[in-house]
Structure 1
Amino acid sequence: MNNQETAQKIIESVGGIENVNSVYHCITRLRFSLKDNDKANAAELKKLDKVMGINIAGDQYQVIIGNDVPKVYGAIVDQHPALKADTTASTQSSTQKKTKNPISRLFDFIAGVFAPILPAIAGAGLLKGFVALFVAWNWMSVDTDVYRIISAIGDGVFYFLPILIAVSASRKFGANPYVGIAVVAALLYPDMGALLSSGNPVSFLGLPVTAVSYSSTVIPILLAIWLMAYVEKWVDKIMPSSVKLLFVPLITLVVVVPITLIAIGPLGTVIGNGLSGGINWLLASGGVVGGAILGGAMALIVMTGMHYAIVPVILSNLATVGFDKFLPLTYISNMGQAGATFGVFFRAKDKKLKSVALSTSFTALMGVTEPAMYGVNMTYKKPFIAGMIGSAAGGAFGMGFGVNAYVLAGNGGLPGLPAMIGPTFGYAIASMAIAFVVATIVSFVLGIKEEIAVPDVANLGNTKSEPTSSTTSESTTATSPSSVTIVEEPAKIPATNETILSPMNGRSIPLTEVPDPTFGDELMGKGIAFVPSEGLVASPVNGTIMNLFKTKHAIVIHSDSGAEILIHVGINTVKLRGQHFEALVESGARVRAGDPILKFDLERIAEEYDTTTAMVVTNTPDYSVIESLEIGSVAVTMPVLKLEV
């Protein structure tokens, strides 16, 4: 199907031209403003060869295309020229509308803060689970030095959780993370803890200081760093450049720490306790009905990202009362989706589908549910419903018997079972088994329409959700935000072994830690990511600039050795529409490794967006090995990726 035919089918599937207010595109997707999203036919859209998926973000209906999105968009506006005229206005309106949505901003913020630190929390939590298991089986004694050291490894992360949150939240707010650490260090300082826990009245300049323990807290730290970001930026604006280095952090610390002790800490504690209390009341009092509702809806909650809003409550519960009732529902939901796919395995006649269903059911049991959910259950619809029914049954049983999780294990499948070890462990196992068995039976009974094409789940192994931000390698360079200048691509260069250099100064991190599923789940290819320390991007290879997006937040370079490199600055920065970015090269330019190619205002962008920068090898299939060479502090031209054919 060519681009013209694809464009026609897309317009028909979104409800016809009469249902379209406007459309524009970013790097990966068509972004429609529709009069009625319910008129769009997602199933028909997903059947199209060039459509990778759909995503609904606020009022925006997104059709994910990938590299060919400029061509498909061009075909759409060729067929319907009126759509091109309203692009700018509709884009600005849509962006402003989303910017003003407090719920979306809250979810984005929480996800952005907690996603980078979850690996540390999950690893320590799983260790705590294994320690509990070893003690329960008498494999380890609590009186030994080994137990104390291992426990310190697991408990240390949770005790000093405020430091992790300070670093992540500082980056999210665009503040200095080391000053954030200094703020929290003052709150956790042993003498401060002794002072606040002494039982005697404490005051600062005549103002009373409420006794609050800040170890393992979440909400007070988030509020403190939020205040710190504003104070730091205000002081930075008024302070002469010659003394900024000394006096900006000094004044920030002297202002923020006392205010936190006097007001923000107690307020955050009240908010945190209230939030935890409300959710815990629902979980404790909902009983069988509450378990059925929450268990059945858990898959939808996770898909929308709303579960991130519960993370502070989970951590607070584990730190204060030693257990949490929400986490078991995530395990139960995963077992429901696994069972639904297992039911497809029994019911299906097509050998390929049976193979896919069996393998994805197993991966779901191991805690990776997305291949099952997106590859099978949602494709055939009825199995997804069966999974929710099974999860509802398991949730009803689990909450009816008060199932708890005792650590955050980081895996909602069988490998994470140590998190459940405790008085309710038996009921936890039973509730998960019920979810799996019920979902299997319901899925088998409901059946599927096997005429739907068997999905290719090869690239879904780590997918967490539908992609939500722009991430592929096409570009626009014309004055219109949606028009495209296509640089004639050179003859295909056979890929050869190559070393890719760092394009910026800062800190490198695994690509899988990027809080954007399109990058983090390596949908666009393997690579590496960076937390920049300054707003300058250099070429990581000798090669040619193939594509430069109009909004300048992404650039594609074709190396002389055959690698196709996408550098994408920040998450969702397409919404800035080029503001705070300055391109130093044009499409078609020749560059050498280390040449500056892009400038951006790091501080201004960080005020609203995560500045994590992804560098992806978009022709990943051409290589047998793509391996990170350096994780940690990096500088321009330092080797960071090894490519081998």
Structure 2
Amino acid sequence: MSRMHVDGYLIDRNGADKMNDKKLASEILELVGTKRNIQGVTHCMTRLRFNLKDDTQAETDKIKELEGVMGVATSGGQYQIIIGTNVSQVYLEVESILADSVTPKEPETSQASAVEEGNLFNRFFKLISGIIFPVMGVMTATGILKGVLAGLTSFNVIGTDSGIYSILYSFADGFFYFMPIILGFSAANKLKSNPYIGATIGAALVYPGIVTLYNDGVDLTFFKVPVVLTSYGNSVFPVIAGVMLAAWLEKKLEPKIPAAIKLFTVPLLTLLITVPLTFLVLGPLMTVISDVLATGTQSIYNFSPILTGIILGAFWQLVVIFGLHYAFIPILINNIATLGEDPINAILNVTVFALAGAAIGFALKQKDQKKRALGFSTGITGLFGVTEPIIYGIAIPYKKPFIAAFIGGGLAGAITAGMGARMYGFGGNALFAAPLFINPKGMDVSFTAYLIASLVAFVVPLVISYVITKADDTI
């Protein structure tokens, strides 16, 4: 990837000469092996994520040279092409081209089948990414709003009994409470099964009658088998496990049910089997696993909070480079759902400020106008939570800003952990994360730690990057 390609892309996206998204999408599809080699494609905030039958068919070196492509990563069973903040527009063009194209059916080769299956980690990563990412936008929005409402009530701007609070909190908190329904729908979509069956499984888990029985401590049995009731509101893993079972059952039942009654019989049988098994086995099992993940994460943190802060604060963005950060999202969400707070994500937030500061420090030192514009534009983007344009446009090519971000992020991570900061919701990063550091029970040290650590994370890399970067640095 040449500097001209990276610089040209970032400048063009903000100027009059925007590149042709359709042309880029067409070039990418041709170089990944055309529709014949594509099993599926999704996108995150900055990357096109392809599931390819055979990664070796993709012409990676040529893809990296395309104007508008910032890099390529292969991890978690996905072939990831880094586009930047314009990825959603390019994705729409990709989808349009794929929908319009017709590929002759060809027999699967053993190699393609092997790639499709992949190892257990790759399949798990694809599943989790495919379930979580479609709901991330709304999850972020509602998480931020919950934090804002907590702040407004903490400063007595509005009361919890006001109409404004009640209406806004209904969907801000409602998303998380009814998350099993939303994730059930999303999981079924990902598994190519009936999404309304998935949503119904989630609805059963948070049905008010069941919640009342749990709150009242009722001993419930199902055909004399004891039911271990628990609270499934805000939960992640129980509904996913239930939908996985339902999807398998649905595919087994479909060909065996007469067409005349298939419409209602398949959902009926699927739910009659899945919902009781979810309450009896899968739900309690997944709840135990959720508790183990949450307490395990907390135990690692408690072993040495400051050391954890230094390591994660300095090097978390390396995980982002390999595109594996989405695999951690369910764990971070689970921490919030299980514990009501999360110290790990509080640390990770400083890494975004660190990269933003490093980019702006780089920009201030440069004489070349293109490089200055690159640094300022990506730095500002970083302040709003998107770091990959910085990583692939500045940190990796020029290296020294990345070193500055490691130092500042590690220091700020230690401060965050040392002060005992927590995030009380899951949502945005950097500036948008501020409301998530507000304790719903009242303002505490977490918000103060956010302010101090964020300032350190931004200023220290900015200064270091400015000092160690040359005015005429080249790649």
Quick check: TM above 0.5? yes
For 1:438, which of 460, 464, 473 is the aligned residue?
A: 460
The residue type equivalent to 1:438 in the other structure is V
For 2:280, which of 257, 262, 275 is the aligned residue?
A: 262
For 2:308, which of 262, 286, 290 is the aligned residue?
A: 290
Deviations 1:60-101 (A, max 9, x none): 9979799xxxxxxxxxxxxxxxxxxxxx99985376146222
Give the drift of 1:342: 1.6
Give the drift of 1:53: 4.8
The residue type equivalent to 1:367 in the other structure is G
1:274 aligns with 2:292: yes
For 2:432, which of 402, 415, 420 is the aligned residue?
A: 415
1:205 and 1:32 map into 2 onto residues whose CA distance is 50
For 1:195, which of 195, 213, 228 is the aligned residue?
A: 213
The residue type equivalent to 2:432 in the other structure is P
Per the alignment, residue 302 of structure 1 pairs with 320
Aligned-residue Cα RMSD (Å) equals: 3.2
Kindly indicate whether structure 1 or structure 2 has the higher relative contact order, using CA contacts under 8 Å at least 6 residues apart.
2
Q: How many correspondences in the alignment?
A: 401
Map 1:153-192 to 2 at 5 A. 153-192=171-210
Shift in alpha-carbon separation, 1:97–1:389, aligned structure 2, 3 A = farther
2:80 and 2:438 map into 1 onto residues whose CA distance is 43
Deviations 1:130-155 (A, max 9, x none): 11111122211223233222222211
Map 1:142-161 to 2 at 5 A. 142-161=160-179
Per the alignment, residue 57 of structure 1 pairs with 74
- 1:402 is paired with a residue whose SS is coil
Percent identity over the alignment is: 32
Per the alignment, residue 407 of structure 2 pairs with 389
Map 1:226-237 to 2 at 5 A. 226-237=244-255
Instruction: Work out which of the two has the higher radius of gyration on C-alpha atoms and give 1 or 2.
Output: 1
For 2:256, which of 224, 235, 238 is the aligned residue?
A: 238
1:372 aligns with 2:390: yes
Deviations 1:421-453 (A, max 9, x none): 241111111111111122123322332584637
Q: Is the CA contact (8 Å cut-off) linking 2:365 and 2:471 kept in structure 1?
A: no
1:351 aligns with 2:369: yes
Shift in alpha-carbon separation, 1:200–1:235, aligned structure 2, 3 A = same
Shift in alpha-carbon separation, 1:271–1:320, aligned structure 2, 3 A = closer
For 1:27, which of 27, 34, 37 is the aligned residue?
A: 34
Per the alignment, residue 627 of structure 1 pairs with none
1:425 aligns with 2:447: yes
For 1:113, which of 131, 139, 149 is the aligned residue?
A: 131
Per the alignment, residue 325 of structure 1 pairs with 343
1:245 and 1:91 map into 2 onto residues whose CA distance is 34
Deviations 1:467-518 (A, max 9, x none): xxxxxxxxxxxxxxxxxxxxxxxxxxxxxxxxxxxxxxxxxxxxxxxxxxxx
Give the drift of 1:346: 2.7
1:142 and 1:50 map into 2 onto residues whose CA distance is 51
Q: Is the CA contact (8 Å cut-off) linking 1:345 and 1:353 kept in structure 2?
A: yes
Q: Is the CA contact (8 Å cut-off) linking 1:340 and 1:387 kept in structure 2?
A: yes
Shift in alpha-carbon separation, 1:61–1:132, aligned structure 2, 3 A = closer
Shift in alpha-carbon separation, 1:90–1:295, aligned structure 2, 3 A = farther
Q: Is the CA contact (8 Å cut-off) linking 1:340 and 1:386 kept in structure 2?
A: yes
Q: Is the CA contact (8 Å cut-off) linking 1:51 and 1:64 kept in structure 2?
A: no
- 1:117 is paired with a residue whose SS is helix
Map 1:612-627 to 2 at 5 A. none
Give the drift of 1:226: 0.5
Structure having the higher helix fraction is 2
Per the alignment, residue 529 of structure 1 pairs with none
- 2:350 is paired with a residue whose SS is helix
Per the alignment, residue 610 of structure 1 pairs with none
Give the drift of 1:238: 1.5
2:117 and 2:234 map into 1 onto residues whose CA distance is 31
Q: Which runs of 5+ in 2 are unaligned?
A: 1-30, 36-49, 84-105
1:402 and 1:189 map into 2 onto residues whose CA distance is 36
1:65 and 1:112 map into 2 onto residues whose CA distance is 17
For 1:209, which of 193, 204, 227 is the aligned residue?
A: 227
Give the drift of 1:374: 2.1
2:33 and 2:82 map into 1 onto residues whose CA distance is 10
Deviations 1:389-445 (A, max 9, x none): 22111111111221111122x321213311112411111111111111221233223
Q: Is the CA contact (8 Å cut-off) linking 2:309 and 2:417 kept in structure 1?
A: yes
The residue type equivalent to 1:289 in the other structure is L
Give the drift of 1:157: 0.6
The residue type equivalent to 2:238 in the other structure is P
Deviations 1:287-334 (A, max 9, x none): 111111111222122333333223223323323432211222332011
- 2:72 is paired with a residue whose SS is strand
Shift in alpha-carbon separation, 1:94–1:329, aligned structure 2, 3 A = farther
Q: Which consecutive segments of 4 or more residues in structure 1 shift more than 4 A?
A: 28-34, 44-51, 58-66, 88-92
Structure having the higher strand fraction is 1
Q: Is the CA contact (8 Å cut-off) linking 2:74 and 2:322 kept in structure 1?
A: no
Shift in alpha-carbon separation, 1:91–1:420, aligned structure 2, 3 A = farther
Per the alignment, residue 248 of structure 1 pairs with 266
Q: Is the CA contact (8 Å cut-off) linking 1:54 and 1:61 kept in structure 2?
A: no
2:456 and 2:352 map into 1 onto residues whose CA distance is 12
Deviations 1:28-51 (A, max 9, x none): 9997759xxxxxxx9x98995679
Q: Which moved more, 1:250-259 or 1:195-204?
A: 195-204
Q: Is the CA contact (8 Å cut-off) linking 1:55 and 1:61 kept in structure 2?
A: no
Per the alignment, residue 503 of structure 1 pairs with none
Shift in alpha-carbon separation, 1:404–1:411, aligned structure 2, 3 A = same
Q: Which runs of 5+ in 1 are unaligned?
A: 1-23, 35-41, 67-87, 454-645
Taking structure 1 as the reference length, the TM-score comes to 0.57
1:60 and 1:33 map into 2 onto residues whose CA distance is 13
2:82 and 2:67 map into 1 onto residues whose CA distance is 6
Per the alignment, residue 342 of structure 1 pairs with 360
Deviations 1:152-199 (A, max 9, x none): 221111110001100000011111011112222222222222233432
The residue type equivalent to 1:194 in the other structure is T
Shift in alpha-carbon separation, 1:186–1:359, aligned structure 2, 3 A = closer
- 1:208 is paired with a residue whose SS is strand
Deviations 1:208-243 (A, max 9, x none): 111111111111111011111111111112211121
1:219 and 1:372 map into 2 onto residues whose CA distance is 33
